[in-house]
């Protein structure tokens, strides 16, 4: 695993070779061999955070052509999934396609998840090659506003309300990543199923789709999978998981 200072040095080096301007995630991986999973969720949550720490202003999607590319990439993914993706699924797809922006970039740009859905729907409705995508998004347009991923909050704490939980527990030398609507009940069930019992390591509150977020972590640690939902994780893997309280 590359440490933070090495990655920051590579950000500055590639920027110096690019007339002093930092490069995007895709080009950074091409020029340095440092993949997104080596820093995302480990040292920084977003590429813009890494650029700031390296001393640069974040890159901006500020041209019409950038917006069109962003929308078209999402239209292709919507066609593939036959629905609008949750954040975790977008992040998984982005690992194989650097042209896909992070969810925070897309949603901030267009006024949240619902605003971006409306933008994609409008774009696809006006283009014959994307009429099928427009139809897929129709149910999303009629959904209530609180389905926006961070729209519904606890009135007492002001924090997002969870629709489910993605948990990390340990039994023996292995770790299980699973999801549940009630992680306390699930913890009790797992205690009964394992001869060595379990120890809870961390729980992530899922704002939108617990199964989708669970899939993200399974995909991220797929090389460490031993059987089923059980993984042989390193201290760095566990640290990355524990950095997330909400997703």
- Please check the confidence at residue 97 and state whether its pLDDT lies above 50: yes
Regarding whether 73 and 11 lie in a shared domain, the answer is no
- 154 versus 197: the higher-pLDDT residue is 197
Q: Is residue 152 part of a domain?
A: no
Instruction: Point out the domain boundary residue: 147, 180, 209.
Output: 147
**Is 142 in the same domain as 175?**
no
How far is the C-alpha of 173 from the C-alpha of 120, rounded, in Å? 46
Residue with tokens 């409306």: 118
161, pLDDT greater than 60? no
Query: Do 143 and 68 share a structural domain?
Result: yes
Least confident of 11-25, 37-51, 60-74, 233-247: 60-74
Q: Which of 53, 75, 90 is the C-terminal boundary of a domain?
A: 53
Q: Are residues 16 and 81 in the same domain?
A: no
User: Rounded mean pLDDT of 125-154?
Assistant: 65
Specify the number of domains making up the chain: 3
**24 falls within a domain:** yes
Same domain, 184 and 127: no
In the prediction, which pLDDT does 232 show?
A: 95
Q: Are residues 206 and 177 in the same domain?
A: yes
**Range(s) of the domain holding residue 34:** 4-53
Is 50 exceeded by the pLDDT of residue 98? yes
| pLDDT for 77 beyond 70 | yes
Residue 159 domain-assigned (yes or no)? no
């Amino acid at each position: 695993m590359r440490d933070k200072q090495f990655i920051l040095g590579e950000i500055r080096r590639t920027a110096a070779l690019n007339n002093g301007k930092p490069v995007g995630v895709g080009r950074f991986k091409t020029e340095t061999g440092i993949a997104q999973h080596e820093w995302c969720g480990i040292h920084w949550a977003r590429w813009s955070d890494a650029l700031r720490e390296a001393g640069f202003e974040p890159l901006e999607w500020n041209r019409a052509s950038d917006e069109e590319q962003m929308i078209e990439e999402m239209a292709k993914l919507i066609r593939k999934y036959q629905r609008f993706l949750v954040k975790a699924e977008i992040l998984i797809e982005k690992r194989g396609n650097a042209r896909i922006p992070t969810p925070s970039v897309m949603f901030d740009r267009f006024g949240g998840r619902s605003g971006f859905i409306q933008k994609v729907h409008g774009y696809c409705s006006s283009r014959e090659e994307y009429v099928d995508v427009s139809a897929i998004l129709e149910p999303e347009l009629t959904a209530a506003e609180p389905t926006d991923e961070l729209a519904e909050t606890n009135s007492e704490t002001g924090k997002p309300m969870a629709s489910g939980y993605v948990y990390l527990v340990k039994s023996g030398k292995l770790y299980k990543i699973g999801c549940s609507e009630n992680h306390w009940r699930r913890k009790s069930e797992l205690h009964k199923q394992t001869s060595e019992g379990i120890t809870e390591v961390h729980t992530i509150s899922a704002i939108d789709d617990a199964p989708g977020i669970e899939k993200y972590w399974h995909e991220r640690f797929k090389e460490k999978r031993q059987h089923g939902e059980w993984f042989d994780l390193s201290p760095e893997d566990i640290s990355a998981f524990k950095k997330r309280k909400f997703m």
